[in-house]
Structure 1
Amino acid sequence: MSVSPMETIFNVFNETADILKEELSCTYLEALAETSENFFQGDVLQTELSEVTKKRLLKKYSEIKLESYTNETIRKAFQLAILKGMKDSSQPNHQMTPDSIGLFMGYLISKFLEKHSAVTILDPAVGTGNLIFTILNHLDAKEANAFGVDIDELLIQLAYDGANLQQQPIQLFNQDALEPLFIDPVDVVVSDLPVGYYPNDEGASKYTLKADTGHSYAHHLFIEQSMGHTKPGGYLFFLIPNGLFESPEAPNLHRYLKETADIQGILQLPLSMFQNPGSAKSILILQKKGLGVQPPKQVLLANLPSLSNQQGMQSIIEKLDQWLAENKA
């Protein structure tokens, strides 16, 4: 039975991560980060390993030449290995944005920024980088520079390894994204918003969207932080919970958005994508206010069909093209 290029790369990641997991007594995800770094450097960097283990690993690494594969093939293989590791990990923040959403967001960004030959992109909750790499891999015609922030050291290490393996231009910052960021404003912010409460009340107090009492919503603060790092007229593409505008803090969010941005569109993702209807999400598209920036004549609203439904998606794409012609010409 023939093995696909993606499976060929995955098998090498997987087998070498398993060897390192055993030898270093660490988790699969930690071992995956170690093996990816080895792969990129073309060497075995773990000095505590025996010569026999080193030879086993080098033999495995020599089985594939990354330059003969596309970035998307490498990304998918690496993602598959990360997903395997996440199944063993019980950490709730170790979750990945599905590929189909990343592909569609990449399509939206290329449409909204059609006139840009170069773009700067920020993901303030970059995780393993899967969302931003999916987008970067589909902005072929554009020169792109990306920035990613995440507080989780292991996730940012995996994002760093993924960037190296795909040779993607991205600067990564391992910090709390709601603390001050030393990143210049960008053309586009994209984020699968971390939903929940932000435990640092003192840090939250600097934000307009802080709660009057108790902990503030992290996802609201992420929106405000993102807005502060977007150029006037720049775009923000957020994956939001469907109930974002129905929470007790929603009136504050409404007020804030009215002052700072124009809502361009809300695209509800199919419920079939989510195990629990309560965790269903939509894509919120905002444009930051600025000189000469006109609000759309009408907000783009749509319920997306299953992303594998080609006919349904074709009609959404036609609707989007018509909306862009009427509102963004």
Structure 2
Amino acid sequence: MSQLASMEKLFGVIDQTAIILRKELNCVYLEAVAETGENLFQGTILQEELDEVTKKRLKKEYDSITLDHFEKETIRKAYQLAILKGMKEAVQPNHQMTPDAVGLFVSYLVGKFMAGKDKYTLLDPAVGAGNLLTTILNTHAASIEHVYGVDVDDLLLQLTYVNANLQKHGVQLFNQDSLQPLFIDPVDLVVCDLPVGYYPNDEGAKEYKVRAEEGHTYAHHLFIEQSLRHLKDGGYVVALIPNNLFESEQSHLLQPLLKEEAIVQGIVQLPLSMFKQEQAAKSIIILQKQGEGVTAPDQALLVNLPKFSNREAMSDIMAQMDQWFSVNKK
């Protein structure tokens, strides 16, 4: 069976059983996806309140597949499809998923910047449903020693928990406001699709250097500062940022922090065609925390990506990037 056919088969089982559970448990589809994912992982039906007929219907679906026969990436993509379906059904601003192509490109950058490190630790302070994190883990798990994920949304965190379990990744998860104190040791790498917008907790924002003089502070600025706080010296942040990060009305508050505490190793602008509106467009920033022996590159990696579907243009860009890495990351 091809990978696509395998993924479609697994998605079909997740989807059909989630539909059954949504009706029987009177819950939203996303919650049912988490419930059915947990059933798949545990190899049993955990919802005791279901009647025998419903349990038999679910068991028939579950018995039609063997989870161990699926590759991790196939599981991630099938589960991702179900989550995307649920997010379209009940749109919430914080219920958005990092697109696959972006996740794979972030994973490529992680591999390049972390090359030479046998083992390293990883934190995603806005882990969401875990798609970006598990994309990276599926490529670099052998090098990643400890993994931490934080999110304030308990449903998204439950989806991450099931997502990681199904793919057999060990992840420590924390259900809390990521901008409050984190009881996590400093890590080597922070990856994050930064939540964009204002942070409503003005009192909490006062603990940060990038806080606004009046009114709400940008959450994405606070997340950058929090990420740098939780990095070891010389560690990296690889984060998705809004394109206007350095041109917004609060950018003058962020720039001194970056100058004092970090080196901007690179900025990669994602294709504008990926975004419905230009003002929603994003880039990937790579920051390195200042520390002994940390030096700035002669020239930062500055890239405007073409459409991912344009293979020739992408091949040219990747060759240019590989050349930059060969000079700056020996």
The TM tier, using the shorter chain, reads over 0.9
Offset of 1:132 from its aligned partner? 0.7
Alignment match, 1:135:
136
Q: Percent identity?
A: 60
> Is this contact kept in 2: 1:262–1:288, CA < 8 A?
yes
- State the one-letter code of the partner of 2:301: L
Q: Is the 8 A contact 2:122 2:144 kept in 1?
A: no
TM-fit CA distance, 1:140: 5.2
SS in 1 for 2:147: strand
Give the TM-score normalised by structure 2. 0.97
> Match of 1:308?
309
2:127 equivalent in structure 1: 126
CA contact (8 A) 1:124 1:150 kept: yes
Supply the distance in 2 between the matched residues of 1:271 and 1:199 (Cα, whole angstroms): 29
Pairing 1:36–2:37 present: yes
Instruction: Please give the residue correspondences for 1:11-50 in structure 2 after superposition, counting only pairs within 5 Å.
Output: 11-50=12-51
Map of 1:95 onto structure 2: 96
Match of 2:290 in 1: 289
List per-residue Cα deviations over 1:17-72 (Å, max 9, x = no partner).
Answer: 00000101110001111111111111111111101111111111111111111100
The reply to whether residue 85 of structure 1 matches residue 79 of structure 2 is no
The 3 A distance-change label for structure 1 pair 273 and 152 is same
RMSD: 1.3
Off by >3 Å, runs of 4+ in structure 1 = none
For 1:321, the equivalent position in structure 2 comes to: 322
Distance of 1:272 and 1:145 partners within structure 2: 35
**SS at 1:232's partner residue?**
strand
Per the alignment, residue 299 of structure 2 pairs with: 298
TM-score (norm 1): 0.98
Alignment partner, residue 209 of structure 1 = 210
- Counterpart of 2:228 in structure 1 is 227
- C-alpha deviations, 1:191-248, integer Å up to 9, x for none? 1100011111111101011100011110000000000011110111110000010011
Give the number of equivalent residue pairs: 329
8 Å Cα contact 1:136-1:144 kept in structure 2: no
Q: Distance in 2 between matches of 1:30 and 1:263?
A: 39
**Contact kept? 1:144, 1:169, Cα under 8 Å:** no
Please give the alpha-carbon distance, in whole angstroms, between the structure 2 residues aligned to 1:124 and 1:65: 33
Check whether the contact 1:189–1:236 (CA below 8 A) recurs between aligned residues. Answer: yes
SS in structure 1 of the partner of residue 291 of structure 2: coil
Mapped to 2, the partners of 1:250 and 1:171 lie a distance apart of 33
Question: Bigger shift: 194-203 or 310-319?
Answer: 310-319
Conserved? CA contact 1:12–1:61, under 8 Å: yes
Q: Which runs of 5+ in 1 are unaligned?
A: none
Cα drift, residue 141 of structure 1? 4.7
